[in-house]
Amino acid sequence: MKIFHISDLHIGKQLHYYNMRDNQRDILNQVVDKAKEYRPDVIIIAGDIYDKSVPSAEAYTIFDKFLNDLSDIRPGIPVLIIAGNHDSAERLDYASSFLERHNIYISVNPPEKEDDYLKKLVLEDEYGSVNFYLLPFTKPAYVRHLFDEGLVNSYDSAISELIKRENIDYSKRNVLVSHQFYVAGEKSPDTCESEQIYISVGGIDSVDVQSVKDFDYVALGHLHGGQSIGHPHIRYSGTPLKYSVSEEHHNKSITMITMKDKGSELIIDKIPLHSYQDVRSEKGKLSEIISRATDENRHDYISITLTDEDELYRPKDQLEEHYDHILEVKIENSRTKAQLEEADYSTSVISPLEAFMQFYQDMQGQAMSNEEEEIMIDIISSLQEGERE
Query: What's the pLDDT tens digit per position in 134-154?
Result: 999 999 999 999 999 999 999
Whether residue 161 is found in the same domain as residue 236: yes
Whether residue 138 is found in the same domain as residue 203: yes
Spans of the chain, pLDDT less than 50: 200-202, 345-347, 387-389
Question: What CATH number is attached to the domain comprising 86?
Answer: 3.60.21.10
Would residue 27 count as lying in a domain? yes
255, 272, 289: which is the final residue of a domain? 272
d(CA 211, CA 158) in angstroms, rounded, equals: 10
d(CA 138, CA 84) in angstroms, rounded, equals: 9
Whether residue 153 is found in the same domain as residue 251: yes
Query: Count of H helices and E strands in the chain?
Result: 11, 19
User: Residue 122 contacts by C-beta under 8 Å, 6 or more apart in sequence?
Assistant: 129, 130, 131, 132
d(CA 42, CA 121) in angstroms, rounded, equals: 11
d(CA 205, CA 46) in angstroms, rounded, equals: 18
Would residue 82 count as lying in a domain? yes
Whether residue 109 is found in the same domain as residue 245: yes
d(CA 143, CA 166) in angstroms, rounded, equals: 14
Would residue 222 count as lying in a domain? yes
Phi, psi of 18 (to 5 degrees): -90, 130
Whether residue 124 is found in the same domain as residue 261: yes
The pLDDT of residue 356 = 81
272, 301, 322: which is the final residue of a domain? 272
The pLDDT of residue 241 = 97
Would residue 84 count as lying in a domain? yes
Distances (CA, A) of 136 to 13, 46, 85, 259, 273: 21, 8, 9, 23, 25
Phi, psi of 165 (to 5 degrees): -65, -25
250, 272, 294: which is the final residue of a domain? 272
The pLDDT of residue 384 = 55
Q: What tens digit of pLDDT does each residue of 89-114 get?
A: 888 888 788 888 889 999 999 999 99
Whether residue 12 is found in the same domain as residue 133: yes
Whether residue 363 is found in the same domain as residue 327: no
Whether residue 297 is found in the same domain as residue 254: no
The pLDDT of residue 149 = 92
Would residue 220 count as lying in a domain? yes
Whether residue 52 is found in the same domain as residue 179: yes
The pLDDT of residue 375 = 79
Q: Which domain holds residue 42?
A: 2-272
The pLDDT of residue 203 = 58
Nearest to 91 by CA among 109, 74, 75: 109
Whether residue 331 is found in the same domain as residue 365: no
Whether residue 27 is found in the same domain as residue 170: yes
Total tally of structural domains belonging to the chain: 3
